[in-house]
Structure 1
Amino acid sequence: MFETDFPPRTSGSGELLGLVPYLLGYHPADALVAIIRPVGQHLPHAISLPLNEPAEALLEHLATHVRDRTAGIILIGYGRAIHRAKIFEVSGALQLFVPVLGRFLYDDGILTCLTSGCDCTPDGGIPVDPRSTQLAAKLALTGRVVLPSRQELDTLVAGDPRAQAETQAALNTLANTDIAQVAALTAPARAGERLTAEQVARLCLALHDPDRLTAAWHQTTGRRWQRELWLDVTRRAPQQHVAAPASLAAWSAWRLGQQALAEAALDRARTADPEDGFTRTVSLVVGAHLPAHRLRWPPTPHLPAATSRIQS
């Protein structure tokens, strides 16, 4: 619907709610969702912020996502009517430097348009179930998956203390061990097998080697087994080994069009090592919100890897 009408009007205001979870990757709650459409791109992207934050904090965060080439933004508050004033305050400030094309409140199953003079919803709002909209049904048929909550998304990249301890124990036995090539280490995952603790440990060590990290990056083309592999290693890697597999998990998710999962994995990588150059490189690409198919991958052999971690 964004290809022809942004923001949507009439019945489209209800359909808008069906789109949001597919943009985020999960169903939001107690959140301020901003749908951002860049100039020259039909499909928007979305970010979600805690609705209970002060208006100043919300605005500061949103400002970092609004660029010169932003065609417009829609704000949707998922929460109680007491947040109406905050939505107005944030949208009013945003309007000074980017077109705010719609502002809504979704409260207890009722969607209300907060734009003065707009007739896309009655004054009392319209009942909408995001899961039962036509758009949600169409997207579900394409195989798109939406998680029930942000917490479940974060769980996919959160550390598993028991598995991390098993990996650390394996690492302790691998001193002075030759580092294997990444392709050999990931072969069991390609065959549908879950890596053992020793295999995860060897992979963690390999990813500290610049050449092997580059090889792993170039080999991560967005296949589902790769996404599952790097998410599994991210959960099982001890904290000092997390940045590389989490960044590769983010890269794989982004290649599959799973922006929210990619950003969650990058959050885990940055928490583990805020100065990691490879993580910064992946963050720049993922943060550009460009379709993955626009980037030829793997790169041609004469192109150097653009990562300070690899160069250092």
Structure 2
Amino acid sequence: MNSTDLPRLTVRSPADLIAAVPYLLGFHPADSVVVVALSGSRITFAARGDLPGEGDPHEPAGHIAAVTAQQGADSATVIGYGTAARVTPAVDAIRVALADAGLTVLDALRVTDGRWWSYVCAQPECCPPEGTPYDPLASAVPAAAVFAGQVALPDRAALAAQVAPAGGATMRQAAERADRRLTDLLAAAPSTDLLGGRALRTSGVAALRASRGRHRDGERLTDDELAWLCLLLTHLPVRDHAWEHTDGRDEDTAFWAEVLRRAEPELIAAPGSLLAFAAWRAGQGALAAVALERVLTEHPDYSLALLLEDLLRRGVPPSRLDGWPATGLPRARRRAKRRARRRSR
């Protein structure tokens, strides 16, 4: 499931809402169920999940309803994308779960092949049994969303492609050179520097500052610069320094996306988690989700990725960390450590 802090979009009809959903999520959903929650007349939250398989649809329905109820919403609309055989059980389960959670279900829709059907309206003059055709381009919503800086990619695969590996043999060679450089750094550290901790942090802070500066100037990092930064980020004080200096700015998201794409698989845990954090803070929950999927596939026990995955799963709004890092890092560190201890038992 993914969620996001949302732009202000004016929605006056089911067709407008259907046109808005790809911009609320960041991509056009397929084989999905989406809940759009409102507080009064304002959309406050959107969440998407895959349509359930052959199992019980009530378990994911209960989770998505509980998360939606935590957003301060008082009503919601459910939209299923796919065939009636798959969509109807999922939508019915979520409608019941939302009602049980105290939310008013304004409408429940199914969208397939350029038509929508309502599970709530039974009036053939406005909701014909053959479905209502809609044209997203006829709605003012996409233009307003684009003006607000929102993007709707063709599908979730296109989103995942933004974090797909793009390293290659030259990055592998750069990672090997970084290993040798690290060995030399630790060998040169004074005996008073326990395990070379100060040398590592000093080098990490310098590498991050230089890399961020070059990226802001529009310069592409060399393979050696990127490999060295990624290796130093495996040292937690360096990772936490980078975390403290990462927020939801466009430059943060672009920087960590480049580092994640080019990094060697064994070094993606920190940059991928930092990209997920930047994307979540920017309201790009879907991008955060695909970044975390990539990290946790390679590093299933990485505590920061698990912490961020939990934030997304519970639908915690990015506004909860307004004032970052002063308001969030100590508590986040404690939560990450507790989760790591639980998984090690």
- Please tell me the TM-score bracket, short chain as reference: 0.7 to 0.9
Give the whole-Å Cα distance in 2 for the aligned partners of 1:272 and 1:111: 40
The partner residue of 2:131 within 115, 121, 125 is: 125
- Mapped pair 1:54 → 2:65: no
Decide whether the 8 Å contact of 2:282 with 2:318 is kept in 1. no
- Mapped pair 1:97 → 2:100: yes
Aligned length: 305
Give the whole-Å Cα distance in 2 for the aligned partners of 1:258 and 1:282: 13
- Who is 1:262 aligned against? 288
Alpha-carbon offset, residue 230 of structure 1: 0.6
3-state DSSP of counterpart to 1:65 = helix
What pairs up with 1:165-180 in 2 under 5 angstroms?
Answer: 165-178=172-185, 179=200, 180=203
The amino acid of 2:213's aligned partner reads: A
- Who is 2:44 aligned against? 43
Alpha-carbon offset, residue 279 of structure 1: 1.8
What pairs up with 1:73-222 in 2 under 5 angstroms?
Answer: 73-83=76-86, 85-87=88-90, 89-91=92-94, 93-94=96-97, 97-98=100-101, 99=103, 100-117=105-122, 121-160=127-166, 162=168, 165-178=172-185, 179=200, 180=203, 181=205, 182-222=208-248
Decide whether the 8 Å contact of 2:175 with 2:228 is kept in 1. no
Q: Relative to structure 1, is the Cα distance of residues 132 and 40 closer, same or farther in structure 2, using a 3 angstrom cutoff?
A: closer
Deviations 1:118-154 (CA, angstroms, capped at 9, x unpaired): 6863333321123442112211111211111110001
Give the whole-Å Cα distance in 2 for the aligned partners of 1:97 and 1:211: 45
Alpha-carbon offset, residue 103 of structure 1: 1.5
Q: Relative to structure 1, is the Cα distance of residues 18 and 96 closer, same or farther in structure 2, using a 3 angstrom cutoff?
A: closer
Give the whole-Å Cα distance in 2 for the aligned partners of 1:26 and 1:280: 24
Higher RCO structure, 1 or 2 (CA under 8 Å, sep 6+): 2
Give the whole-Å Cα distance in 2 for the aligned partners of 1:114 and 1:40: 21
Decide whether the 8 Å contact of 1:109 with 1:128 is kept in 2. yes
The amino acid of 1:65's aligned partner reads: I
Alpha-carbon offset, residue 298 of structure 1: 2.8
The amino acid of 1:63's aligned partner reads: G
TM-score of the superposed pair, with normalisation by structure 2: 0.76
3-state DSSP of counterpart to 1:144 = coil
Give the whole-Å Cα distance in 2 for the aligned partners of 1:109 and 1:20: 14
Give the whole-Å Cα distance in 1 for the aligned partners of 2:322 and 2:24: 20
Decide whether the 8 Å contact of 2:79 with 2:91 is kept in 1. no
The amino acid of 1:272's aligned partner reads: E
Q: Between 83-92 and 106-115, report the one with greater CA deviation.
A: 83-92
- Who is 2:326 aligned against? 299
Q: Relative to structure 1, is the Cα distance of residues 137 and 296 closer, same or farther in structure 2, using a 3 angstrom cutoff?
A: same
Give the whole-Å Cα distance in 1 for the aligned partners of 2:40 and 2:241: 34
TM-score of the superposed pair, with normalisation by structure 1: 0.83
The structure whose Rg is larger is: 2
Question: Can you give the 5+ residue segments of structure 1 that lack an aligned partner in the other structure?
Answer: none
Alpha-carbon offset, residue 84 of structure 1: 5.2
3-state DSSP of counterpart to 1:257 = coil
Decide whether the 8 Å contact of 1:113 with 1:120 is kept in 2. no
Deviations 1:262-306 (CA, angstroms, capped at 9, x unpaired): 1211222222222222223333444434144851123169x6362
- Mapped pair 1:253 → 2:279: yes
Give the whole-Å Cα distance in 1 for the aligned partners of 2:97 and 2:60: 11
Decide whether the 8 Å contact of 2:62 with 2:94 is kept in 1. no
The amino acid of 1:124's aligned partner reads: E
